[in-house]
Amino acid sequence: MLNYNKYQIMNNNNTTENSSRSPNVNWRSLLGTFALLLLLNSFVFPFLFKPKIIPTTYSNFINKVDSALVKKVNIDGNKIFFTTPEGTVDRNGNQQDAIYQVGKMDDANLVDRLLEADSPNENGKIEFSETIPRENSPVLNFLLYWVLPGAIFFFLWRSAMKSMRGRMDGNYMSFGKNKEKIYAEDEIKTTFADVAGQEEAKESLGEIIDFLHNPEKYGKIGAALPKGVLLVGPPGTGKTLIARAVAGEAKVPFFALSGSEFVQMFVGMGAAKVRDLFSQANKKAPCIIFIDEIDAIGKRRDGMTTNDEREQTLNQLLTEMDGFDGRKGVVILAATNRPESLDKALLRPGRFDRRVQMELPDLEGRKAILQVHLKKVKHEEIDLDLIARATSGASGAELANIVNEAALRAVRNNSSSITTNDLEESIETVIAGAQRKGKVISDEEKRIIAYHEIGHAMVAAKQTHSAPVHKITIIPRTSGALGYTMQIDEGERNLYSREDLENRIATLTGGRAAEEVIFNKITTGASNDIEQATKLARAMVTRYGMSDEFDMVALETVNNPYLSSDTSLSCSAETASRVDEVVLSIVKNAHDKAKKIIRANEAKMHELSEYLIQKETITGEEFMNILEN
């Protein structure tokens, strides 16, 4: 309502201000009004005021003529209209004649019949005539058949063109119109204090912040600011977060967009978007441009697959990076999980001059990340060392999710703060899913699951260089696991020996070994163990050079280390067959080792399994107390 009133006031003001001027004739309105009146006059008004006509048959018409009931007859083309005194009475009491319509027939005696017939007229004769066809004037024909259809077609075409132009300008063909939000200085609240576990990355990016604050210090020596910085690492390591933190620390405008936003429907639109982005950036300099998932437009041009739109966008990005002056303070930050797929022209010096690795955090990094996220929630004294060791291999985003899950669990338990137990349970929820306490499992299956999990723990405990058992449970999880054994290393490990990996494979086969030794049968519960053991044994042969037969020959390559870690063999079919034999030998030896350990400690297996069946969940400390006593 406010906008509408304002619009009315503005119109009134304009009318008053221009009242002294001669009015402009709106020919478009006049032409539309004329066409509307012409249509009404030709097709609407005649039907509104036309008297009621009753259709009838030709035989009825002849009967009325012979019965002396017809007063007037008018032949109009292929129609015959006749009136009879059988009508109605109007408001004034006057008799109204009825008008009938009948189709004309080939009746040669019609005129003679009308002349001889009697009529209720005063002279007793029927009045009959034939309408003379009247032709329209040439002007009217011209208006009806040429001007009016042309005007209608013109208005329809004009309306369609306006609609198409609006869509092209607004959505599909927005050449040079960029919709990326520019974050002003007070909108970026993220700083390096919000980024933990990436100290090397912060140190590398700190130079850029210092350059933006003190360009003279670098200009004295002749140093130039790196034009582009490529952030590389697995998902969830904080690439987007640290880019925002750089802008927040430098207090400069921040352009943030995804590489997929440059991929448009029509060829040339992405390139125009790149031009517009750099034009805005130059006006806002010093500033930071952040392109997330740059591999969407920066993929390698291999010549086998062509995409004109993506290649033109990439070429325009390369040109813009060469064209702007780094001393103005325009910095491009880009992030990707697939650095191996980027075009070499994009990675050469002068474009993306610096690469910053954002790897998964180590033990101390995980502690720092947990501290950052625990500041946002109420918590009691937390054993950060235990939680950090239990989350080995977790990214910053996963750690944030674990803390949030712990907070949700505390709310469900009507607790006012988070405890270490909440965090431990949230780790299990993220890894294996929530507990399914309502799942019905028979006593026999429960015994098999308990012996299976104790088998894993027993083999792990009886081997050297094996991670200590932290927790054993037979409570089903939503991921499909019917139970699991959790091991936690006492410290951060970066290197694993051949013995370490063989012990790990033996531990994985411990569950199946317990089923075979105790129940003399095997079940499907070891499917995930088999998968992990086979994968680890194959990596030992093909990637780690831990086999006597192949020595230090690389037989497998990792295609995408930061995402799926898929591998592909780079050897002949004969060699691949021999690799399978060596992998089978490694797994089989580990399996035999696990069965020997189970047989040697069968009495403890029974005691521990019965205890686990009663408790459903036991700690590693409880397990070791029973095993050693």
55-107 pLDDT, tens digit each: 888 888 888 888 888 888 888 878 888 888 876 655 566 677 888 888 888 88
Q: What is the structure's pLDDT at 134?
A: 65
CA 19 – CA 618 distance, rounded (Å): 92
54-130 CATH: 3.30.720.210
CA 198 – CA 201 distance, rounded (Å): 5
At the topology level of CATH, where does 182-357 sit? Rossmann fold (3.40.50)
Is 453 a residue of the active site? yes
At the topology level of CATH, where does 443-628 sit? Methane Monooxygenase Hydroxylase; Chain G, domain 1 (1.20.58)
CA-wise closest residue to 182 among 257, 109, 72: 257
Q: What is the structure's pLDDT at 618?
A: 93
Catalytic residue among 249, 398, 453, 502: 453
Give the residues of the chain that fall short of pLDDT 70.
1-51, 87-94, 132-137, 163-186, 264-267, 303-307, 324-327
CA 189 – CA 67 distance, rounded (Å): 102
Identify the three-state secondary structure at position 6: helix
Q: What is the structure's pLDDT at 8?
A: 36
SS3 labels along 69-113: CCCEEEEECCEEEEEECCCCECCCCCECCEEEEEECCCCCCHHHH
**Sequence letter at residue 123:** N
Which residues are within 8 A (CB) of 431 and not within 5 positions of it... i.e. 6 or more apart?
Answer: none
Q: What is the structure's pLDDT at 147?
A: 78
The structural domains of the chain, with segments of one domain joined by +, span 54-130, 182-357, 363-431, 443-628
Q: What is the structure's pLDDT at 21?
A: 42
Q: What is the structure's pLDDT at 178?
A: 45
Q: What is the structure's pLDDT at 30?
A: 60
- Which CA distances in Å does 146 have to 44, 406, 485? 20, 78, 88
Q: What is the structure's pLDDT at 107?
A: 81
What is the separation of C-alpha 446 from the centre of its chain, rounded to a whole number of angstroms? Answer: 42
Q: What is the structure's pLDDT at 556?
A: 87
Q: What is the structure's pLDDT at 183?
A: 45
Structure tokens at 587: 């797994």
Q: What is the structure's pLDDT at 523?
A: 93
Please report how many Cα atoms fall inside a 13 Å half-sphere around the Cα of residue 616, on the Cβ side: 9
363-431 CATH: 1.10.8.60
Identify the three-state secondary structure at position 266: coil
CA 48 – CA 50 distance, rounded (Å): 6
Q: What is the structure's pLDDT at 369?
A: 93
**Sequence letter at residue 302:** D
The per-residue pLDDT for range 607-619, each reduced to its tens digit, is 999 999 999 999 9
Structure letter (DSSP) for residue 194: G
- Which CA distances in Å does 12 have to 1, 23, 29, 150, 213? 17, 15, 21, 36, 53
- Which CA distances in Å does 43 have to 39, 47, 525? 6, 7, 83
